[in-house]
Structure 1
């Protein structure tokens, strides 16, 4: 059997054609549930085994670490299967297939050709290091060539996370007395937008128009100075700087163009301006006819383009022939995930959009079920009925575990009603995307220590840990130290070293003008001693051992206990650091980690670990169906996931679609694509619900059902109107102004009563203003 036959046996006709096409560039339009990752995996396997392309000459670009890791794992497994088959291939010839014998896995190639057999190639993650996210791929390019830029960065630069870069913005607003003029998130959003559209601060200021633009441009410029001073990049720089590098140096661009024969881009419909420009530059296209690049495969689904507000330009995906005129289009139109009624509903909704590729998704599975649509009197009734339905599904054996269920909503605030009821009913649940591992305070504290050890000029990290645990260095002392650093153009670390050398408060004030208390000076000296010891330690300790040494050295467990006042909470937080140590354990002397070659330097090990951690911004918990926790998430967070049972809640105009999205056809179409994504997460059972009235920001709102519900044909649905059966069903003596008690929310005052509902302002500010059913209230 030949490899092509094997691929054809394991893929359908559409998939096979897409996987085997290599003569020109490819556009693969992959509908929901159509086996997109499977096709990509088989295509890369065909390049390696069928065309003998070396793995390091194949660039695979994804949007998430999860997608990159899944592709690597599948490819390694598929490679083992291919090797076990011992395929023959009559197309192989020594003249057609040249390869360096020194490359790992290719040493027996020429013997294989003589025997008309495919070579036995053993793949591991290290050989697939060119498969990764946009940011991880271009980070590697910067690590090699950043010093060719005019900016004063060295190859050991640090990478700031979103929180750290936001701190720099807050400090700048404070320094320039602009805290009342601009919000930090406004400035950070502006800077991010400029970088993702390829504009430097200098370029923006050159064309600035008006006071607002000039002020923002200057803040952007000062922000860049702070990054350069600390030899740090923010996340957006990982794409902006390679773009600037390629623009500045055609030689470096050609070097990287020549490094790859094939480029494959996953979720191409979600690329923003700079990501698409980088792909054009790397591959060579009509914009750069003199620059020959790699054969490119773009794979994605315009029906699922939902990140316009983050800068994604679906127009790029729709107009690829402008840039690659010979590109060949393939459509994957068979959905293997969902039952027919779910696929049909998605098709009917999405066909109302105008700007998209024409395709008709068909279901591979069989069935004649219907979507259940509920109308509720209120949002609290919606939550109560959803929870009741989940209990019934479990009790009647319709599901194996509650982990097979997902509740999807348009905005995060909609989860509150469900959380309260799950707590009352003792039903386990998990919120996805609400608070990620690397956003936890204890994790950020210890990572800041590591970043400071790696780069003492990282002032953001140094500031975070200077007084953790408490070294009696108060805010006033830190402000004076920072002021001296800014006025004298030196780093925070250099200022601390100066204070340590001067020794006592009197000498420090005389020589530098910095007025500090004796406890503060003592704390700074203790910190400097710790820092010197930690820098010595990285010469002999790997990152995992360094973490354990650090935690003991600063008595972080005791610090947590004092901060939390609860041994149980402190233990839980300390356990999170155990998970961090586990992640670091794969970086060891003489061992290969998941993405890089063998390394032997402790400093290099730490640097590589920190790079990986910074790039893991999309790390989320596993959506394990075997756990018994119901999954709660926004629809955006559900992208790429699937569940046997899905509840789409809050399907009302002004909620879904959002009120402001209904004003523009373009944004309304993106909301419709979001509904399509929500519908197509369901494999077997789909519930959609809406409420006649909903508490929004402390006010009762009455919204009509979502216009998207009208786009689903009635013959695909069964309807239950629960709003009439519940109205006035509860008789109660509670009146407006009454003091009441709720089992979970505590005591409060009734502000308004409508039918069987009461609007209550609870004394506990954690719960605030809530709408609850009268039957759950007891008059005090």
Structure 2
């Protein structure tokens, strides 16, 4: 206990040391929830509440979050690091299926189809059942959501048939048959199939309960129906202690199936006691007051009261509302302020700054201005794997080698070769590449040389050539890191697919550059300086969202998340003239959510 008291505040100590009851902790941004989780895990082993070979299971949503937790646990306790499993929901599902997937007819070396392979499988299924005018990408997303919402393929098909949608039901059935014939699963299967197996073979739950005596679920507000159901089927009513951490104010993924109502369900299912962490160690007090002003107007919150600022209040207001006339001025303002902050030593490096927008289109003008000013900047996407034609060829060829009997995987390689401009996109012959003596990274290098991918860049201009060559080199470097964990080709291929999945998050960028990113991508990050662009009417919230609706409240939470990324300085930017999607200039009022903030809490700037 004394060690906890040295590392944690009193509220955090209480949560890290309360080990006998199920809890749901409502933790605000910057409140030290990761610190609580990691110290709790270490404390479980230190107090011998959990003793090897029993283990602790920690489940979170992104590889980045899981890696951060594992690293922190390793620093605190070697035993806890060795005997705790911290992973994403999808990784847990993959591990489960590797051990028990045979109960659904899966081989141990099953492959995970990414969106592109899912689209190919779906097109083949559509041809089989005579389904015309198929939007493959949109349908893949719809199928994933449908399966996750109902908990299984069979339940989704049944629901479609009951509602009279016979043809879509036939399409999903045919699509599922194609996946199984290729010993493949999609991302929703990684959660739905374990749920189906556990419900049919409940003894497996008891096996896992004996292994995992304590379970910690991070970001409970982001769980969808099948994720909560999976935890419920595994641990409800058992001796396993379930510890959930959530922030209802950061629930911003309903479009991916997340259900904020799961928090109330969690309390009921596990008879959990609600607790809270309200101290904020991240934000300057003036920024925290702005965040409170916005989120306290939210409808139906479980949390009550304001956050407690732990940083000293020097009386300075560091939150700004900025009104600019056009996009060019928006970019110039961001560049000018960054240079000024650097000159005044308010930031020590460029990567202390992030610029957030709804999408890349809202960041382009800023990127142009930063480039003009000579300020290094980089766009952070949601996945670590570069999206270039050559990298796509390397990745798809590697997957095909991992699953040599999968004809769809071979077709995808040829499709990517065509996109990369290969003179003979039928050049891919699997038998020339498969070499059992080669480790995954060695095979990757062989693929690159065999297909002559570097030579495809010869006709490109120098800048594009360097960018795509760098992407291949970076991908190889990244694969070297993955290969330290996944040494055989099937597991290496599965891990790459999971790492590239949009749910998995991106690791922190190590380059010293201003980070440009979408607001959704920014969740989980923190920066000394945050600029939020496009706080304009009909953009934030979106034009088709009705005031007072749940969609409107999610937009409120989205802005709140972006505000609470800021440690020292916050700039909220409204642009009076912004192009529409068709490129026509249009005058726009400030975002209603920007106006929902008490304007007395903001320094107001008109630029230029």
Alignment deviations for residues 267-302 of structure 1 (CA, whole Å, 9 cap, x no partner) = 1111000001011112114xxxxxx25210001211
Between the aligned partners of 1:37 and 1:557, the Cα distance in structure 2 is 43
2:91 is equivalent to residue 146 of structure 1: no
2:13 is equivalent to residue 16 of structure 1: yes
Which of 532, 540, 546 is residue 431 of structure 2 equivalent to? Answer: 532
- Please tell me whether the aligned partners of residues 150 and 156 of structure 2 are also in contact (alpha carbons under 8 angstroms): no
2:172 is equivalent to residue 220 of structure 1: yes
Between the aligned partners of 1:175 and 1:702, the Cα distance in structure 2 is 50
2:198 is equivalent to residue 246 of structure 1: yes
Match of residue 620 from structure 1 = 506
| Residues 393-408 of structure 1 mapped to structure 2, 5 A cutoff | 393-408=341-356
Alignment deviations for residues 728-780 of structure 1 (CA, whole Å, 9 cap, x no partner) = xxxxxxxxxxxxxxxxxxxxxxxxxxxxxxxxxxxxxxxxxxxxxxxxxxxxx
Match of residue 406 from structure 2 = 458
Alignment deviations for residues 71-123 of structure 1 (CA, whole Å, 9 cap, x no partner) = 111111112xxxxxxxxxxxxxxxxxxxxxxxxxxxxxxxxxxxxxxxxx556
Per-residue deviation, 1:317: 1.0
Greater relative contact order structure (CA < 8 Å, 6+ sep): 2
Between 1:354-363 and 1:574-583, the stretch displaced more is: 574-583
Between the aligned partners of 2:240 and 2:220, the Cα distance in structure 1 is 16
Match of residue 393 from structure 2 = 445
29 and 205 in structure 1: CA distance in 2 versus 1, 3 angstrom threshold: closer
Match of residue 599 from structure 2 = 714
Which of 39, 44, 47 is residue 42 of structure 1 equivalent to? Answer: 39
Match of residue 376 from structure 1 = 324
- Please tell me whether the aligned partners of residues 534 and 540 of structure 2 are also in contact (alpha carbons under 8 angstroms): yes
Which of 439, 453, 471 is residue 542 of structure 1 equivalent to? Answer: 439
Which of 564, 573, 592 is residue 468 of structure 2 equivalent to? Answer: 573
170 and 468 in structure 1: CA distance in 2 versus 1, 3 angstrom threshold: closer
Per-residue deviation, 1:675: 1.2
Per-residue deviation, 1:365: 0.5
TM-score normalised per structure 1: 0.72
Between the aligned partners of 2:365 and 2:156, the Cα distance in structure 1 is 45
Aligned residues: 598
2:136 is equivalent to residue 188 of structure 1: no
Unpaired runs of 5+ residues, structure 1, are 80-120, 286-291, 476-519, 597-603, 727-780
TM-score normalised per structure 2: 0.91
Between 1:451-460 and 1:641-650, the stretch displaced more is: 451-460
2:39 is equivalent to residue 30 of structure 1: no
Match of residue 754 from structure 1 = none
Per-residue deviation, 1:258: 2.7
Match of residue 252 from structure 2 = 306
Between the aligned partners of 1:259 and 1:374, the Cα distance in structure 2 is 55
Which of 317, 321, 331 is residue 267 of structure 2 equivalent to? Answer: 321
Larger Rg: 1
2:43 is equivalent to residue 160 of structure 1: no
Match of residue 55 from structure 2 = 57
SS in 1 for 2:409: helix
Per-residue deviation, 1:242: 0.4
Between the aligned partners of 1:401 and 1:621, the Cα distance in structure 2 is 19
- Please tell me whether the aligned partners of residues 107 and 183 of structure 2 are also in contact (alpha carbons under 8 angstroms): yes
Per-residue deviation, 1:351: 0.7
Alignment deviations for residues 553-604 of structure 1 (CA, whole Å, 9 cap, x no partner) = 333323x335x5356644553444444444444688xxxx44x7xxxxxxx7
- Please tell me whether the aligned partners of residues 151 and 195 of structure 2 are also in contact (alpha carbons under 8 angstroms): no
Per-residue deviation, 1:303: 1.0
146 and 712 in structure 1: CA distance in 2 versus 1, 3 angstrom threshold: same
SS in 1 for 2:316: coil
Per-residue deviation, 1:708: 2.0
Match of residue 291 from structure 2 = 346
- Over aligned residue pairs, what C-alpha RMSD do you find? 2.7
| Residues 270-281 of structure 1 mapped to structure 2, 5 A cutoff | 270-281=222-233
Between 1:49-58 and 1:20-29, the stretch displaced more is: 49-58
SS in 1 for 2:351: helix
Between 1:297-306 and 1:451-460, the stretch displaced more is: 451-460
SS in 2 for 1:456: coil
Unpaired runs of 5+ residues, structure 2, are none
- Please tell me whether the aligned partners of residues 282 and 293 of structure 1 are also in contact (alpha carbons under 8 angstroms): no
| Residues 58-77 of structure 1 mapped to structure 2, 5 A cutoff | 58-77=56-75
Which of 346, 356, 361 is residue 307 of structure 2 equivalent to? Answer: 361
Match of residue 388 from structure 1 = 336
